[in-house]
Structures are given as C-alpha cells and as structure tokens.
Amino acid sequence: MNRRKFIVSVGGFFLLFILGGKNAWANKGEVKIEAPEGAAKGSEITIRVTATHSANNFFHYTEWLQIKINEKEIARWDFTGSNKPEAATFSREIKHRVEGDSEIKAKASCNIHGSAGEGVVKVLAKE
C-alpha cells in the first residue's frame, strides 16, 4: 500500500470514530409498547411507545417511528440528521378511544440499518 492510500485510510477510520464513536456500530431501531390489556368501550387510553437505537448523531439516527391501530397508521414521526430524536432512547405518547378490540403495532427504523421489527400489543374492549 502506498503512503497516500495509507494516510487516507487512517484518516477515514479516525473520522469515523471521532464523529460516531461507539455509535458507529449501532443496532436497528427497536420499540416497546405500553398500553392497558383491556379498557371499557368508549374510554380513552394512553399508548406509550419507547424507541431504542444506540446511535443518535448527525449521520446515524432513528429515521422514523410509527404507530398503527388495526393496520391503520395513526401517528408517525419523521427525523433527519438536523432534526433527530432527543436521545438514543425516546418515547412518544398518543391517546386512543377504544371502540372495539385493538391491535397496536409500532415500528422504528434506523436510517442505515433499518428496523428490528414491529412491536405488537392487543387491547381488549370491555362492555
């Protein structure tokens, strides 16, 4: 390897670690859903979704978080390098009126690695 290639390679690795640190090797976006197991029909429940991703910098961050109820998207947050989440682990809450049994799905995605998959919780409607 010639000297120029060596210097460029070392410089590239140096920038990677300076800009990304340990977060340069981050995981996929993951979610955890908190909601009651059951609720009376017509009542309003709070759904809390916590997204976790080990990176949160200009180059590597959670790109979006979405919540679906019975396959209909009801909330979505999109992020960019200049408008990233407040931390590597962050939460969002929404209110939902229970009209029947509800299947809640949430998913977060890393702008580089994608998603670890959907989180799913069911809320049973009580008469």
pLDDT digits (tens, 9 = 90+) for 103-124: 999 999 999 999 999 999 999 9
pLDDT score for 18: 47
Q: Where are the domains of the chain?
A: 23-126
Q: What are the tens digits of pLDDT across the range 36-91?
A: 999 999 999 999 999 999 888 888 999 999 999 999 999 999 999 999 999 999 99
pLDDT score for 113: 92
When the candidates are 3.40.50.300, 2.30.30.30, 2.60.40.730, 2.70.170.10, the CATH number that belongs to 23-126 is 2.60.40.730
State the CB neighbour count (10 A cutoff) for residue 102: 19
Q: pTM of the entire structure?
A: 0.78
Which candidate, 36, 35, 43, places its Cα nearest to that of 99?
43
Which candidate, 21, 39, 23, places its Cα nearest to that of 97?
39
First-residue to last-residue Cα distance in the chain: 74
Q: Is the pLDDT of residue 21 over 60?
A: no
